Structure formats: C-alpha cells, structure tokens
Structure 1
Amino acid sequence: MKTYTLGQSREEVIGLFPERKIKQVLLGEQKVCVVRVGVDFFAFEPYCPHRMMGLREGWVTAYDEVVCPLHQYRFELRTGKVAMGDCRELICYRTSLEEGGLVIFI
C-alpha cells in the first residue's frame, strides 16, 4: 500500500477542495477523484465502472453518493457500494485528514 499526502495542513486541504466539488488528482501515475463533504474526504476511482464515464463530471447527493453523469448510477462514497444501477462496486480509497495534510492510501 502506498500513501500520498495532499497539501501541508488541514486548512490548506479544506481550501483546496470546495464542498461537494469532485476534483481529479494524480497520485504517482494513478488518477483519483477526491471530494470533500464537511471535513470528511472521499477518494475513489475516476471512472464509472458501468461505462467508464469520468466521475469528476458527476455530483454528490445529500446522501453522500457520487452520481455518474452518463446514466445516473449512484455509488456510496463511504463503501463504494452501488446504490442505484447494475455494475460492480466503485473502488474507494481510505483517507485521513491530518495536521500535515490529506493522506490517501492507495
């Protein structure tokens, strides 16, 4: 397992990620989507497992689900489980907001 740290402080990371706005980042050679909900951060694979649509174009619901913009498949951000649709689960990565930044475990 590899770890990557974004930012240099909690405050900086919170400022880098506007509430519920999905951003794509490059960690090493791997693209990952990251979204902030309050002070919780979620990291997940960048493409919908159904038809490989880019999830950074999607949105986050009030139920903390990411929605694919193509067919509106929904995935729980905490687990990657399919909330609506018929495909495999979304790969999610553990995150930890620390004093030195946001740590993502790949």
Structure 2
Amino acid sequence: MREFQLGNSKKDIWEMIPERKIKKVRLGDKEVAVLRLKDTIYAFEPFCPHRGASLLTAFTNSKEEIICPLHQYRFDLKTGQVKSGYCREMEVYPCSLGENGLTITIPQ
C-alpha cells in the first residue's frame, strides 16, 4: 500500500474538490477520480469497468452510487460493487480526511 497526501488542511480540500464535481488526480503512476459528497470524499478509478467510458462526467444519486454516462451502470462509491449492470467491480481507494488534508491509499 502507498499513501498519498493532498492539500494541507480540510479547507484546502474543500477548495480543491468542490461538492459533486469529479476531479482527476495523478498519484504516483496512477490516475484516480476524486469526488466530494457533503463531507465525504471518495476516490475511485476514472474509467468505467464495463466499457472504459470516462467517469469524470458521471452522475451520482442519493444512494452514494456513481452512474456511468455511457450505459448507466451504477457502482457503490464505498465498495465499488456493481449495483446495475454486468461487469467487474469498480476499484475504490480508501480516503481519510483530517486536519492535515486528504490521504488516499493505493494498493501496490
């Protein structure tokens, strides 16, 4: 596992990641999508596991699911579990938001 730090405070993160706007960041050699819903941050792979469509323009719903804009496959943002459709689970990465910014953990 490798940990990456974004920002230096919660305020930095609120400014860096506006609510409901998906941002792509590079962490080492990996591109990761980051999304804030209220006070919760989610990090996940930036392309749909089904057909590789970009999730940077995806939608979210009230069940904390991301919905691919291409075929409307739905994935749980916490677990990556497929909620609608047939493909592998979406990769999700643990996040921890603290007073010193956001830590995202990426498996090696």
TM-score range, shorter chain: over 0.9
Query: What residue is the counterpart of 1:33 in the other structure?
Result: 33
Unaligned runs of 5+ in 1: none
**Separation in 2, partners of 1:21, 1:60:** 10
TM-score by length of 2: 0.95
Query: What residue is the counterpart of 2:88 in the other structure?
Result: 88
**Separation in 1, partners of 2:43, 2:67:** 14
SS in 2 for 1:56: coil
Identity %: 47
CA RMSD of aligned residues (A): 0.7
Query: What residue is the counterpart of 1:99 in the other structure?
Result: 99
**Separation in 2, partners of 1:38, 1:81:** 21
Runs of 4+ off more than 4 Å: none
Query: What residue is the counterpart of 1:65 in the other structure?
Result: 65
**Separation in 2, partners of 1:29, 1:20:** 25
Unaligned runs of 5+ in 2: none
Q: How many residues align?
A: 106
